[in-house]
Structure 1
Amino acid sequence: MFSTDAEQWAKDTFYHTELGDSRRTKRLVKLASSLANHLGQSLVQSLKSPADIEAAYRFTRNQAIDPQAIAEAGFAATVEHTKHYDCLLALEDTTSLEFSHQTVRGEMGHTTSNKRSRGMHAHSVLLFAPEEQHVVGLIEQERWTRDLQAYGQNQRHASRPYIEKESYKWERASRAMETRLGNGIQKVISVCDREADVIEYLTYKISHQQRFIVRSMQSRCIKESEERLYQYSDSLAHAGTRTVQVRQKGGRKARKASCEVRYAPVTVKIPANKTGEPVPLYYVGCQEVGHEKGLNWHILTSEPVRTKEDAARILDYYEKRWLIEEFHKAWKSGGTQVEGLRMQSKENLERMVVILAFIAVRLHQLRYLGLNKEEAEKQSCETILSPLAWKLLWSKQEKSKPPKHAPSLYWAYINLGKLAGWHDSKRNGRVGWERLWEGWFMLQTILEGYLLAQSLDL
């Protein structure tokens, strides 16, 4: 869960990092704490003294410090948090990080169909507790750069071994999770988009008794019918209707989609060019009514789906997949602004990329607490703010004497945004990443000033 104290959060996350020297670990904790308190700012802007700035640059340039060692400490901290939950969704997705700094571009690979783009890719797995509505933390992240000489390799995709393809990243992530969680993997359900609809991945998950929900990318052959999966779904009985909130993305406007739900057990056949046994799964369909090109989800899952309530739960879980996209926003353009880093080498860059990934999770936790309005209105703002901090925020924003009882968490979320100049111009009650964290930082500054004034009066 979200930690209000940046220094304590940094200790909890990185204090046990194995860097070969305890002084390096202490420097990591101090660096992470400063960056967390000065979101989106450079090393120079976030650190107070020239000595601290120089020490931070020495840390990022130190070839003896393995970025993966930093990441493993963060994953271990997440493992500790998982012990408090009975069910966890492992929300997975891949994103690209593009860098414009000329010095480091020469060490990067291509990231899009544009051959001139330069950067790295990252496949992240974020754990979310659906019953408690908590963003728990990162449990896995793989980072890589594509070989520039292999540009256009997709043309030879069919002839390459599975473990050499980028699609193997889904299985690799599951293997890493199982290594870290041990028996705890049994309470984890991987939730993936269409890119994970790879027969080898589905086979691996079933054979290792790992739970998953994957949106189908192709209408596969099934044993239950001579027709393919999507055509077969049209013949299934309706299991009720569902309203899906379609989120705004790119040029697509946010809207509500009225959908019909179907479900059935299915057995997916292995493609003719591959070997293996058929894969027994469950199917859940969610198709928008009255729109030929509207929302249409075909979902394959290992979770038993025998009732319409089971189907509804699978769709509930799949709808949480947007949280991994929100993490990427917090990491990239909206929060820590990782793509703005200007380091001199790929290795130096990756050390900072990893640290900022865990800071982005912390920001994501704070924002999700407020976005979940129904729950946030039930909770006290003292979940994230000290009594003195919320009273100072009240005096600043409400211009009146603070009440006897703490206001809600949602009140704190909205007023942290307003403190930084947010006006809800879109009338959606969603405070943006920058304004939320700027408000948080401004409140910490007000609190420090108040405490300093009090000490001087003594």
Structure 2
Amino acid sequence: MTVKKSENACWSKCNFGDKRLTQRALYIGDCLRLKYGQALSTVFKNAGDLKRTYEFLANPKTSFEKVVEPSHYQTAKETKNLPLILSIGDTTFLDYKNIKLKREDYGPIGNGGNGLILHTSLAVAPDSGQPLGLLWEKVWKRTQKIKSGKKVNRAKVFEKKESYKWVEAIQKVSSIFQEVSEVEQPKVIHIFDREGDIAEVFAEVQRAEKCSFLVRAAHNRSLNEEENYLWNYVQNQPVSFEREISLTNNHKRKKRIAHLEVRFCQVKLRSPQRLKETNGFKIYAVYAKEINPLDGEEPINWMLLTTEVIESPESANTLLRWYTYRWLIEEYHKILKSGCQVESYRLGGNSMKVLLGFLTTISSHLLKITYLHRNHPERSATEILTFSQIQVLKALSSSKKEDLSKETIGWAIEAIARLGGYLEHRRKTPIGITVLWRGWLELMFLCKGWELREALS
């Protein structure tokens, strides 16, 4: 996949303490963009380049953090003038259980797996759900199995626990905006699924400036000022309104339209004993329950908690829409695993982490461009394509009726999708990520030939 030269240049800003390593990072990144998802022996031109790539990945001066940091700062700089940004957080497991050698470089991830854990903060526009890029990521391995370490884990200080990633994400995203914002940073609303329902997240948001959260409740917490519990109290509120939402398909459900009845109210949650300095958490709860779900489908039953003020059906409806954007990060994980084939490589753990830094950046750009086509098809194709890429797509156009003077994102993405196998008779169907990443690879191959011809002529 490719993007504008300004995005290609993010690796030129990597700080390894050695300019030669930075130049090598730029070369590796550009090569991976042309042939992402393929074996490294296919990606690089000759044995010398492949050898130097392996040496780069294993170099103690390189790291996952140093490779991804420039793209995080780039996202923050591009969005710093927006009044509001959604930051969607989620964790995925990368399984390398088939690696026979160097297994000690990885760690247990459940179900007999052996691999790495990746936590991501994805920036999203609140009005359209347009992915804007990555704001922060962290990768690590577990050092022991969870079952045998439960008692030990409870005794750890919170900063040493795996669940600290949710608070760390809030702190890191706030820090990066403070560094790039000269005057005022945007307000960031962090959106987490049930794993992020921990009291320390509530406490951190209370302390932070320009920060809020939206989390799906996992615990039926007791209330401070009521002899009651969260679920019972909110479920007994009157229905405020009904609405329909479109559900995407995943391994748990089929794609469908769900009809919801929605309740909302303010509550004050009691603080756990471990947070003695807090005096409860005043938040708003929005409860959405599916009416008459399809046979065999698990009904939607969301209890959403937020520090945003929810005092009208309109504001509750907005919050529900924001929560549905959380599925974008699942699309990002799909690109990373199926498109960039991140679990197919067979490297030592430290080398794999560095390679992962390149592939996460590529995956986030592909997600961004996919949704630019859906949300802003009328914008100029020059925002996402180079001159040579546009010329190749124009040369490939088979329709004489097509107005090639209007080189829009919509036109460009449809042309790229056709290279990946998108069929004309399915034009009413949204372009899928799979045909798009196949099309990008084909376009890159064609562009190399076009640029070579231009250089020889």
How far apart are the structure 2 equivalents of 1:401 and 1:51? 48
Are 1:289 and 2:291 matched, yes or no? Answer: yes
The residue type paired with residue 283 of structure 2 is L
- Does 2:182 correspond to 1:181? no
Task: Work out the CA distance in 1 between the residues paired with 2:424 and 2:102.
Answer: 39
Give the superposed CA RMSD: 2.7
Shift of 1:381: 3.9
Whole-Å Cα distance in 2 between the matches of residues 286 and 424 of structure 1?
Answer: 38
Q: Is this contact kept in 2: 1:238–1:260, CA < 8 A? A: yes
Code of the aligned partner of 1:349: M
CA offsets per residue over residues 269-326 of structure 1, 9 Å max, x none? 1246763311111111211123495101111111111111111111111111111111
SS at match of 1:152: helix
Instruction: Give 1:3 shift.
Output: 6.6
Q: Which amino acid aligns with 2:344?
A: G
Hey, what's the Cα distance between the residues in 1 that align with 2:317 and 2:153? 36
The whole-number CA distance in structure 2 between the counterparts of 1:401 and 1:243 is: 38
Q: Which residue of 2 aligns with 1:200?
A: 200
For 2:372, the equivalent position in structure 1 comes to: 369
TM normalised by structure 1 equals 0.89
Query: Number of residue pairs matched?
Result: 447
Do the aligned residues in 2 keep the contact of 1:282 with 1:301 (CA within 8 Å)?
Answer: yes
Indicate conservation of the 8 Å contact 2:370/2:436, yes or no.
yes
The 5-angstrom pairing of residues 437-448 of structure 1 reads 437-448=437-448
SS for the counterpart of 1:252 is coil
Tell me which amino acid in the other structure corresponds to 2:414.
I
Look up the match of 2:140: 144
Question: Structure 1 counterpart of 2:8, which letter?
Answer: A
Moved more, 437-446 or 56-65: 437-446
The change in CA–CA distance for 1:216 and 1:387 in structure 2 (over 3 A counts) is: same
Counterpart selection for 1:323 from 322, 328, 340? 328
Compared with structure 1, are the counterparts of its residues 149 and 377 closer, same or farther at alpha carbon in structure 2 (3 Å cutoff)?
A: closer
CA contact (8 A) 1:288 1:296 kept: yes
Matched residue SS, 2:116: strand
Partner of 2:108: 110
SS in 2 for 1:15: helix
* CA displacement at 1:52 relative to structure 2: 2.2
Query: In 1, are the aligned partners of 2:108 and 2:145 still within 8 Å (CA)?
Result: no
Residue 428 of structure 1, CA deviation: 7.5
Q: 1:29 to 1:386 in 2, by over 3 A?
A: closer
1:29 and 1:455 map into 2 onto residues whose CA distance is 22
Partner of 1:338: 342
Note if 1:356 corresponds to 2:359.
Answer: yes
Q: Please state whether the residue corresponding to 2:93 is helix, strand or coil.
A: strand
Which amino acid letter does the alignment assign opposite residue 103 of structure 2? R
Inter-CA distance 216–185: structure 2 relative to 1 (3 Å threshold): farther
Segments of 5+ residues of structure 2 without an aligned counterpart are: none
Flag structure 1 segments of 5+ consecutive residues without an equivalent: none
Normalising by structure 2, what TM-score? 0.89
Work out the CA distance in 2 between the residues paired with 1:238 and 1:224: 22
Whole-angstrom CA distance in 2 between matches of 1:401 and 1:323: 35
Q: Which letter maps to 2:371?
A: Y
Classify the secondary structure of the residue corresponding to 1:237: coil
Please say if residues 387 and 406 of structure 1, whose CA atoms lie closer than 8 Å, have aligned partners that are also in contact: no
Residue 53 to residue 425, structure 1, CA distance change in 2 (3 Å): farther
Aligned match for 1:121, one of 117, 134, 140: 117
Matched, 1:403 2:403: yes
Rounded Cα–Cα distance in structure 1 between residues aligned with 2:270 and 2:354 = 43
One-letter code of the match for 1:222? L
Summarize deviations over 1:198-233 as a string: whole Å, max 9, x none: 112212212324311111112222245433221212
Q: Offset at 1:246? A: 1.7
Query: Equivalents in 2 of 1:167, 1:179: separation in Å?
Result: 19
Question: Per the alignment, do residues 27 and 203 of structure 1 end up closer, same or farther by CA in structure 2, a change over 3 Å counting?
Answer: same
Distance 1:451 1:363 in 2: 23
Q: Hey, what does 2:281 align to over in structure 1?
A: 279
1:418-448 C-alpha deviation (Å, 9 max, x unpaired) = 2122348999824444431221232233344
- Per the alignment, do residues 293 and 325 of structure 1 end up closer, same or farther by CA in structure 2, a change over 3 Å counting? closer
